[in-house]
Structure 1
Amino acid sequence: MKICQNCPCSSPSISLSSLASPCLNSELSLSLSLLLFPAESPTSPPLPARGTTGGKVSGVRGGVDVFLPSPSQPRGRFVLGRPRRLKVFSMALFIYFDYKAVQKRVKWVGAGKKDAIWTKTHERNARRVLNLMIELEGLWVKMGQYLSTRADVLPEPYINVLKQLQDSLPPRPLEEVRGTIEKELGKPMNDLFANFVLDPLATASIAQVHRATLVDGREVVVKIQHDGIKDIILEDLKNAKSLVEWIAWAEPQYNFNPMIDEWCKEAPKELDFNHEAENTKAVSSNLSRKTNCESGAVSSAVDVLIPEVIQSTDKVLILQYMDGIRLNDNDSLEAYGVDKQRLVEEITRAYAHQIYVDGFFNGDPHPGNFLVSKEPPHKPILLDFGLTKRISQSMRQALAKMFLSCAEGDHVALLSAFAEMGLKLRVDMPEQAMEIATVFFRQSTTANEAKENIKTLNDQRERNVKALQEKMKMNKKEVQRFNPVDAFPGDAIIFMRVLNLLRGLSASLNVRIVYLDIMRPFAESTLLGSMTRGPTANSQWIYDSPVNSEVESKLRNLLLELGSNKILGIQVCAYKDGKVIIDTAAGTLGKYDPRPVQPDSLFPVFSVTKGITAGMVHHLLNHTSGLHNALGDVMKSDPLLVCDWEEMLHQITKCTPETEPGSEQMYHYLSFGWLCGGIIEHASGKKLQEVLEEAIVHPLHINGELYIGIPPGVESRLAALTVDMEELEKLSGFRAGPDVPQELLSNVAQMATGLPVLFNTLNIRRAILPAANGHCSARALARYYAALGAGGAIPPPHSGGGSKPPLGSHVHTPKFPTMPSKKKKKGGSKNDVGVADKDGYTQLRTSDGSDEGSTVSAVVAGNGSGSGSSMFVDGGTKMLDAFMGVGDFSGMIHPNGKFGLGFRRYGYGAGAGEKVATTTFGHSGMGGSTGFCDVEHGLAMAVTVNKMSLGGVTRRVVRLVCEELGVPVPDEFSVAGDKGPDMVLNLAPPE
């Protein structure tokens, strides 16, 4: 065997740095660094380039030299036990108090000097950290290597100093290497290798790698584990655990015990090279196979290289040699013309494939674990699979759902993903949960943008802490001690670490990666591949419930015909002469939510809500107040202000009409709700939700299936909105109709695309928007219109063919966002809604009809007790006249207008000059959901959908039912009618 020293083949550019030791979780490491290196401190300019003389690094400012032993200098055995532990904790305390002292000092100096003070502080402590890590080696070197890649979040002095750890450490003696190889492989080295290069390609925390040639002529690299390293790593993990516990005690907001626990469990696996060999083979096989998915987004293998495994034992691993360039060798990357953007994108694709498609991924993607092929197209070479995590199919789907919910802004799907992966939150704060989750998938930043990125993350953290403090009604000390996470799954910890390491990789190469674009196809392939969409793929696409009538059987055939191309999720319910003849649910709750739609699922129904609101008052505005654009400017400047019910009621009082009240009928798309809601609350002395419960929900026995602003606890039943993209393209051909403000449709395509994102967020879903934020099931909505069509008479108990769960079975006292307290009027305590809980929600009091507050004022539609046979205090005939604007109420509606008092009047026999029918009324919502009743023919019907379109599905459903029953089809749903329910208010055909 030939032993080579200083051989050309040992050039650093062809190193195989697959030597990673166990490391703290990325979030733990990052949090440790942010604790020791406060985020509000500015970063410094780059340090000058360093030269080396012997083993000493020169050119470092500040009076603290960094000593790196040269390869020729011998190293002693690892320091074990109490001395090692003492060094770790004493240095941590020293740095901690140094920063605390500087934080106090900078308060008394001018702004111009603060930057310089922080720069020197970072440099000073970075060198202290580096010296300690070099002295201790083991786990701490690996931690330093990780931190040196986080140019996106760490001050630049730390990056400049810790980068030295990316270079090879001093090697172990050849005698030790020879002894390990011969003991593990059972043969003398002369019998194993024709050539063995003495100088290692790289030396890292747990092993070193030598280039060699086997006796059969194959070029290989040999990875040899350091003697005694296992005890060192296990002790370092124990010390790291203690350090994390101390930090959690000193700074409670940095409690990462669950994360270090996961690493204590996973890290020792990396010390078994047989385990690494099997992992390498598995990942190579996974990434080389073709991947097919329903969406077609992932159609071929990722374009990466992985060395072949030749032989392995517990402490020796022999791999195929691949000639490559190290990622930190920028000069060579430039010389070979490597496209760094494409390189990092391909690495990211490889990890997305491992995580979402295979469920088996390398948990340690730091720069040392990659090379770049010297041959065009310069493919990435993936190395070191010692720390490889296998996750279950359910976890893969949950991680995919978490990713896609962030991309879609869907709070409900995010919380569902959290539950599926085992992440439990102690506080109901979906907005902050979405914000934090989105941070993991944010676009990467370059090293040059690190300062601004640190400030952004710090500002976000402060906002979240403040929101938590307000939500939980805690003081500053209490909120620091409060951990909002009750349980954190270990699999998610490794996943988050990988994302952060990839982010650090892109920052170190100064490229910007849009993770949502690159990883999305792989996440979709996993989630959509697990969802049996459409009737042909899923026999349970239509919810299993008895068929109530022949017309329902034909309706289900129609839904099967339309299939998943036009339908995502749908509910249809109809009453005929007070009896249920249709109660059908089909499809899924969301684009990325495979759960089936059930009869009690809650759909957002937009302007259908106006019909509910109208049912709570006798005299209701008929869209002629002239306030159709009220608060438009306010909502433009702050769209989420609509979530503040009290503030919007206050703002509406300051608006002035644009047209003479009563002169023009213009659709009041949002202002309708605040105008009516204010009337309801002022006249009744009660909150809107309390009136809704007393006047409609309890009498109709539809508990838990009709809300205006959902309470916490019903998220699992919510359908998520999406858009029919094919129909969205048709919108460009339509103009604003004569009865809708042009401002509403200035960019209708953009509005239609943005609405699902906005209305899928829980803060909007929980807002009180009586014009647009109703959430209900079709069977609850149909029952409501069946009662209206019967003059307020309560229909018999819902007999939907035994559909389960039974309508009204969700017995609970709803809780809604606490309103700002106002001064109570004398003797007005009886009108209090309820008691505010510490979680920021008010629980509505239940009413049994015994108190005088149970009877809603005369202007409110309902007696509130739910014990009578009618919804209305006075005669139902007058109520129907008011809704249609006839009889005594004919003078209150706009001549030739399409609205009665609160409801849309539907006509028959489409064509010019047709007289508006006076027996059919209802209201539809943007995207296709609708509810109406035909008084003359005893028909009440509701359709709810979550795939927003121009209403084509709804029109076909209504037409089929009406034609089968021999009931005239309202113009709005006929072939000759305008485009879609509710769209008739918004769009007119092209001229």
Structure 2
Amino acid sequence: MKICQNCPCSSPSISLSSLASPCLNSELSLSLSLLLFPAESPTSPPLPARGTTGGKVSGVRGGVDVFLPSPSQPRGRFVLGRPRRLKVFSMALFIYFDYKAVQKRVKWVGAGKKDAIWTKTHERNARRVLNLMIELEGLWVKMGQYLSTRADVLPEPYINVLKQLQDSLPPRPLEEVRGTIEKELGKPMNDLFANFVLDPLATASIAQVHRATLVDGREVVVKIQHDGIKDIILEDLKNAKSLVEWIAWAEPQYNFNPMIDEWCKEAPKELDFNHEAENTKAVSSNLSRKTNCESGAVSSAVDVLIPEVIQSTDKVLILQYMDGIRLNDNDSLEAYGVDKQRLVEEITRAYAHQIYVDGFFNGDPHPGNFLVSKEPPHKPILLDFGLTKRISQSMRQALAKMFLSCAEGDHVALLSAFAEMGLKLRVDMPEQAMEIATVFFRQSTTANEAKENIKTLNDQRERNVKALQEKMKMNKKEVQRFNPVDAFPGDAIIFMRVLNLLRGLSASLNVRIVYLDIMRPFAESTLLGSMTRGPTANSQWIYDSPVNSEVESKLRNLLLELGSNKILGIQVCAYKDGKVIIDTAAGTLGKYDPRPVQPDSLFPVFSVTKGITAGMVHWLVDKGCIHVIQVHHLLNHTSGLHNALGDVMKSDPLLVCDWEEMLHQITKCTPETEPGSEQMYHYLSFGWLCGGIIEHASGKKLQEVLEEAIVHPLHINGELYIGIPPGVESRLAALTVDMEELEKLSGFRAGPDVPQELLSNVAQMATGLPVLFNTLNIRRAILPAANGHCSARALARYYAALGAGGAIPPPHSGGGSKPPLGSHVHTPKFPTMPSKKKKKGGSKNDVGVADKDGYTQLRTSDGSDEGSTVSAVVAGNGSGSGSSMFVDGGTKMLDAFMGVGDFSGMIHPNGKFGLGFRRYGYGAGAGEKVATTTFGHSGMGGSTGFCDVEHGLAMAVTVNKMSLGGVTRRVVRLVCEELGVPVPDEFSVAGDKGPDMVLNLAPPE
């Protein structure tokens, strides 16, 4: 065997970073660094190029040299136990108090001197950290390497000083290396290698790598673990755990114990080179596959190289040699013409594939674990798979859902993803949760933008702390010690660490990466691949519930026929003569939510809400609180306030979430036309006008009236809301748009009651509405014209009662569908919020934190919301038989709904609306007489509820894939035709559609 020393072939193709033990979790490292490095501190200008001389690294700012111990000097590996721990803690305390002192000092100096003070402070402490890490080696070198990659968040002096750790440490003696190789492989080195290069390619804290040639002529690299390193790593893990606990005590807002626990579990795996060999083979195999995505076969075109594994033992690993350029060798990258942007994008794609598609990924993507091939197209070379994490399919799906929910701004899907991955929150703050989660997937920044990035992150943190303080009614000290996370999943920790390391990688190469664009196809591949792609893919696409009738059986066949091309999620429920004949649910809760739609799922139904609001107005009229003559213009859409608050909403769309402010603003509006003269559809103003009257006339909150008038009498608790409460998010359907039907809008013209300016923006509005209405701040808002959330079975029961003049129908059997209608607590407490203990002798009316926040807790005298068993609620479901929602119900109430009989003078002549409800005619295009026994209300996108009084039919359809109503019309036509009931014009092929069904768009002329 030939031993080469100072041979030209010993180029540094593998850096020490690829050999060291795993560093602290990215979030821990980042947070520790932000703790020590104040956000307002400036960054320093670039350092001059470094060169190495003998045992020292020169060129550090100010001419200060950092000395590396020579092989003959005492090394950190020989120091175990108390001395090692003492060094770590004493240095941490020293640096901590240094920064605290500087924070006080800069308060008394001029603004022009602050930058210089902070720069010197960073340089001083960066050198202290570097010297300690070099002395101790082991785990601490790895941490320093990680910090040196975070140019996007750390002050520049730390980056410039700590990046010295990317260079190789002094090597171990050849005798130690030879002894380990021969012991592990069982043969003399002469029998193993034709050539072995004496100088290592790199030396790190766990191992060092030598280039060699096997006796069969293959060029390889040999990775040899340092003798005794295992004890050092385990000791360092123990010290790191203690350090995290101390920091959590000193600064409670930085409690990262769950993260360090996960790291301590994963880190020792890197000490087994057999484990690394198997990981390398698995990742190489996975990345060579193709991935099916929604748009077709998206090749893993993850164009990367991975060395072949030749042989492995516990402490020796032999790999194929690949000659490449290190990522921190900027001069060589420039000389070879490497496209850095494409390089980092390809690395990001490779990790997206590993995480979302394979569920098996390298948890340590720092610059030292990559090379760049010297031959065009300069592919990335992936190295070091010691710290490789395997996650379950359910966790992959949850991580994909979290990613895509951030991309779509879908709060419900995000909270669902949190629940699925095991992340539990103690506080109900969905907006802040979305903001924090989105930080992980934000576009990367360059090193030059680090200062501004740090400021942005800290500003965001301060806003979140302030919001938490207000939410929890805590003082500043209390909120610092409050941890909003009840449980944090270990698998997610490594995932977040990888994202931050990739961000640091892009910053170090000064490129920007849009993670939402690059990683999205892979996340979609995982999530959509796990979802039912249509009824033929899974017999459970239709929710497993008993069939109530022959017509329901035929309806389910229709849903199978329409399939997933037209349906995402749907519920259909129908009553005939007071009995349930259909109660079907099918599909999924959202485009990125594969959970099945169930009978109790809550769908946003837009203007279907108007029919519910109108019912409350009629209930107050029946109670004598108001007279119908006072509100008939509002109910009939003839008040002239159809455009009220349009300017306010344009200037601040989210102002609609402020119920009290919108009620105040609506009082300032004046009619555009003489009340009663024209019927112009009141898209949103209907809700504020009617809602304000409801609250003023009743002296109660709108939700209280909703419960008293509709929810409790009908026993539909938990399945009908106007503005949802916290605690029902797991049952919410998410909206999406049928893009094929949206393209048809270009040929339509506005109907008589649709403003042309609305039509001109209809496509933009239709695509923007799902994003807006999928956010929880909108879902929780009180919008009585457009923000109802309900199940089809609750809505159908409501119309069954209205169609009977208010008479409450028999119990909703629904063929035994589960869970039973009315079995939910209507206003649940936030599930993970710890309740406050009552003080001894406290009032029974005392409420916990959850009662004071978010949705107003509504109570009723019978206490049916709290403590009722499912059986008791279901038993009470039929107690309304023979009773009525109204005192003076029956025919008179039906006349009022439809604006006939004594109420005919209160509606607009030939108008399509009665008093609050749309009147449906029959026989469109056949010259038949318009019928006046069918009424109801549809919502934009296809959801609807109506009743046919004459034929005893009440029906509701809820959908979450917004379209021009084609699916709903097909469903209604089938049911009506099978029952021998005339099809209302709203749902016929030739009839006029209501303004909310398709915005009353007329076909092209």
- The TM tier, using the shorter chain, reads over 0.9
CA RMSD of aligned residues (A): 4.5
Count of matched residue pairs = 991
Distance 1:826 1:860 in 2: 36
843-852 or 921-930: which moved more? 843-852
Offset at 1:115? 2.2
Query: Is the Cα contact below 8 Å between 2:234 and 2:268 reproduced in 1?
Result: yes
Offset at 1:550? 2.3
Matches within 5 A, 1:557-956: 557-616=557-616, 620-813=634-827, 837-848=851-862, 869-911=883-925, 916-956=930-970
Offset at 1:933? 1.2
- What SS class does the counterpart of residue 352 from structure 1 fall into? helix
Offset at 1:31? 0.6
Query: Is the Cα contact below 8 Å between 2:149 and 2:505 reproduced in 1?
Result: yes
666-675 or 621-630: which moved more? 621-630
Offset at 1:545? 2.3
Query: Is the Cα contact below 8 Å between 1:151 and 1:446 reproduced in 2?
Result: yes
**Structure 1, unaligned stretches of length 5 or more?**
none
Offset at 1:202? 0.9
Taking structure 1 as reference, are residues 54 and 33 closer, same or farther at Cα in structure 2, changes over 3 Å only?
same
Taking structure 1 as reference, are residues 851 and 7 closer, same or farther at Cα in structure 2, changes over 3 Å only?
closer
Offset at 1:144? 0.7
Offset at 1:813? 4.6
1:72-100 Cα distance to aligned partner (Å, 9 max, x none): 98857532222221221111111111212
- What SS class does the counterpart of residue 398 from structure 1 fall into? helix
Distance 2:504 2:871 in 1: 63
Query: Is the Cα contact below 8 Å between 2:326 and 2:372 reproduced in 1?
Result: yes
Taking structure 1 as reference, are residues 213 and 154 closer, same or farther at Cα in structure 2, changes over 3 Å only?
same
- What SS class does the counterpart of residue 72 from structure 1 fall into? coil
Query: Is the Cα contact below 8 Å between 2:291 and 2:299 reproduced in 1?
Result: yes
Taking structure 1 as reference, are residues 928 and 826 closer, same or farther at Cα in structure 2, changes over 3 Å only?
farther
301-310 or 778-787: which moved more? 301-310
Query: Is the Cα contact below 8 Å between 2:16 and 2:203 reproduced in 1?
Result: no
2:416 maps to: 416
Offset at 1:401? 1.6
Offset at 1:52? 4.3
Offset at 1:627? 2.4
Query: Is the Cα contact below 8 Å between 2:821 and 2:874 reproduced in 1?
Result: no
Taking structure 1 as reference, are residues 515 and 978 closer, same or farther at Cα in structure 2, changes over 3 Å only?
farther
Taking structure 1 as reference, are residues 570 and 683 closer, same or farther at Cα in structure 2, changes over 3 Å only?
same
Offset at 1:526? 1.6
- What SS class does the counterpart of residue 291 from structure 1 fall into? strand
572-581 or 500-509: which moved more? 572-581
Provide the identity percentage.
Answer: 100
Query: Is the Cα contact below 8 Å between 2:695 and 2:702 reproduced in 1?
Result: yes
Offset at 1:63? 7.4
Query: Is the Cα contact below 8 Å between 1:694 and 1:863 reproduced in 2?
Result: no
Distance 1:8 1:110 in 2: 55
Taking structure 1 as reference, are residues 848 and 72 closer, same or farther at Cα in structure 2, changes over 3 Å only?
closer
Query: Is the Cα contact below 8 Å between 2:714 and 2:877 reproduced in 1?
Result: no
Offset at 1:919? 1.7
Offset at 1:3? 1.3
Distance 1:287 1:861 in 2: 57
Offset at 1:823? 28
- What SS class does the counterpart of residue 946 from structure 2 fall into? strand
Taking structure 1 as reference, are residues 15 and 94 closer, same or farther at Cα in structure 2, changes over 3 Å only?
closer
Query: Is the Cα contact below 8 Å between 1:855 and 1:863 reproduced in 2?
Result: no
846-855 or 815-824: which moved more? 815-824
Distance 1:593 1:304 in 2: 32
Distance 2:827 2:800 in 1: 25
- What SS class does the counterpart of residue 636 from structure 2 fall into? coil
Taking structure 1 as reference, are residues 659 and 41 closer, same or farther at Cα in structure 2, changes over 3 Å only?
farther
Offset at 1:110? 3.0
Offset at 1:804? 2.2
Taking structure 1 as reference, are residues 498 and 751 closer, same or farther at Cα in structure 2, changes over 3 Å only?
same
Query: Is the Cα contact below 8 Å between 2:547 and 2:815 reproduced in 1?
Result: yes
924-933 or 907-916: which moved more? 907-916
Query: Is the Cα contact below 8 Å between 1:928 and 1:980 reproduced in 2?
Result: no
236-245 or 662-671: which moved more? 662-671
286-295 or 257-266: which moved more? 286-295
652-661 or 898-907: which moved more? 652-661
Offset at 1:856? 27
Offset at 1:614? 0.4
1:147-169 Cα distance to aligned partner (Å, 9 max, x none): 11111111112111111111111
Offset at 1:951? 0.4
Asked if 1:243 is matched to 2:257, the reply is no
**Structure 2, unaligned stretches of length 5 or more?**
617-630
Distance 2:67 2:337 in 1: 35
Query: Is the Cα contact below 8 Å between 2:469 and 2:479 reproduced in 1?
Result: yes
Query: Is the Cα contact below 8 Å between 1:694 and 1:862 reproduced in 2?
Result: no
Distance 1:393 1:608 in 2: 38
Taking structure 1 as reference, are residues 894 and 108 closer, same or farther at Cα in structure 2, changes over 3 Å only?
farther
Offset at 1:615? 0.2
Taking structure 1 as reference, are residues 792 and 283 closer, same or farther at Cα in structure 2, changes over 3 Å only?
same
Distance 1:97 1:852 in 2: 53
Query: Is the Cα contact below 8 Å between 1:684 and 1:856 reproduced in 2?
Result: no
Offset at 1:671? 1.6
70-79 or 965-974: which moved more? 70-79
Distance 1:822 1:676 in 2: 38
1:330-355 Cα distance to aligned partner (Å, 9 max, x none): 11112112111111111111111111
Query: Is the Cα contact below 8 Å between 2:543 and 2:597 reproduced in 1?
Result: yes
1:14-72 Cα distance to aligned partner (Å, 9 max, x none): 65853021211111011110011122323222233344444444443457542235789
Distance 2:318 2:831 in 1: 63
Taking structure 1 as reference, are residues 214 and 40 closer, same or farther at Cα in structure 2, changes over 3 Å only?
same
- What SS class does the counterpart of residue 527 from structure 2 fall into? helix
1:743-783 Cα distance to aligned partner (Å, 9 max, x none): 43342112111211221122221111111111111111111
1:371-418 Cα distance to aligned partner (Å, 9 max, x none): 111111111111001111111122112212221222222222222221
Distance 2:992 2:858 in 1: 42
Taking structure 1 as reference, are residues 969 and 639 closer, same or farther at Cα in structure 2, changes over 3 Å only?
same
Query: Is the Cα contact below 8 Å between 1:698 and 1:865 reproduced in 2?
Result: no
Taking structure 1 as reference, are residues 851 and 376 closer, same or farther at Cα in structure 2, changes over 3 Å only?
closer
Taking structure 1 as reference, are residues 509 and 284 closer, same or farther at Cα in structure 2, changes over 3 Å only?
same
Taking structure 1 as reference, are residues 620 and 659 closer, same or farther at Cα in structure 2, changes over 3 Å only?
closer
Query: Is the Cα contact below 8 Å between 1:814 and 1:844 reproduced in 2?
Result: no
The TM-score with structure 1 as length reference comes to 0.94
1:409-438 Cα distance to aligned partner (Å, 9 max, x none): 222222222122111111122221111111
835-844 or 69-78: which moved more? 69-78
Distance 1:850 1:339 in 2: 66
Taking structure 1 as reference, are residues 98 and 854 closer, same or farther at Cα in structure 2, changes over 3 Å only?
closer
Query: Is the Cα contact below 8 Å between 1:745 and 1:986 reproduced in 2?
Result: no
Taking structure 1 as reference, are residues 158 and 68 closer, same or farther at Cα in structure 2, changes over 3 Å only?
same
Distance 1:770 1:946 in 2: 19
Offset at 1:915? 6.0
Offset at 1:230? 1.2
Offset at 1:295? 4.9
Offset at 1:240? 0.7
Offset at 1:812? 4.4
Matches within 5 A, 1:221-240: 221-240=221-240
Offset at 1:480? 0.5
Taking structure 1 as reference, are residues 881 and 662 closer, same or farther at Cα in structure 2, changes over 3 Å only?
same
Query: Is the Cα contact below 8 Å between 1:123 and 1:157 reproduced in 2?
Result: yes
Query: Is the Cα contact below 8 Å between 1:626 and 1:659 reproduced in 2?
Result: yes
Query: Is the Cα contact below 8 Å between 2:825 and 2:865 reproduced in 1?
Result: no
Offset at 1:839? 4.2
Offset at 1:547? 2.3
Query: Is the Cα contact below 8 Å between 2:957 and 2:968 reproduced in 1?
Result: yes
Query: Is the Cα contact below 8 Å between 1:618 and 1:859 reproduced in 2?
Result: no
Query: Is the Cα contact below 8 Å between 2:568 and 2:961 reproduced in 1?
Result: yes
Taking structure 1 as reference, are residues 817 and 362 closer, same or farther at Cα in structure 2, changes over 3 Å only?
closer
Matches within 5 A, 1:195-234: 195-234=195-234
Query: Is the Cα contact below 8 Å between 2:941 and 2:998 reproduced in 1?
Result: no
Distance 2:817 2:313 in 1: 61
Offset at 1:986? 4.6
Query: Is the Cα contact below 8 Å between 1:856 and 1:864 reproduced in 2?
Result: no
1:196-230 Cα distance to aligned partner (Å, 9 max, x none): 11111111121111111111111010111112211
1:185 maps to: 185
Offset at 1:701? 1.4
Query: Is the Cα contact below 8 Å between 1:951 and 1:979 reproduced in 2?
Result: no
Offset at 1:922? 0.9
Taking structure 1 as reference, are residues 126 and 868 closer, same or farther at Cα in structure 2, changes over 3 Å only?
farther
Offset at 1:624? 2.3
Query: Is the Cα contact below 8 Å between 1:171 and 1:203 reproduced in 2?
Result: yes
